[in-house]
Amino acid sequence: MNFIYGTTQSINILPDSVCLADRVECFGPSVDGYKIGRRLGMFAVPDSFNTVFIYTKDHIENYLLPDLIQLRNALFDRPQYTPNVTGDNANYGTNNDDQIWGVDATTETWLSIEPET
């Protein structure tokens, strides 16, 4: 299955505290603790169409993978997530209960593969 993905820009009414986050730009005065802001995000839509895969190693390593990393980082740059490492860390975005976290894992019953729902 193929995925169509890309970046988004949304205009929202945001709490002042969110205006301090990366990839958020707020405008105008604060009113009752809120401002109008623009937030960068991502979209991903599964789609079914035929494709041909013809990319050079350079294009994959220097364009496609950095774009995917930027999209992943935008997904986790939201108030409901509390990152403990930065986006350039290889463990960024992994499950908190994954064994890679060792004694810092949130549970002892880690799953290497999430169950399908």
Which segments of the chain have a pLDDT < 70? 1, 108-117
Alpha helices in 1-117 (DSSP H): 57-59, 65-76
Compute CA distances 70 → 38, 47, 104, whole Å.
17, 21, 26
pLDDT tens across 69-78, in order?
A: 888 888 877 7
Domain ranges within the chain, ordered by starting residue: 2-81
Looking at residue 116, its pLDDT comes to 55
Gap between the Cα atoms of 40 and 15, Å rounded: 16
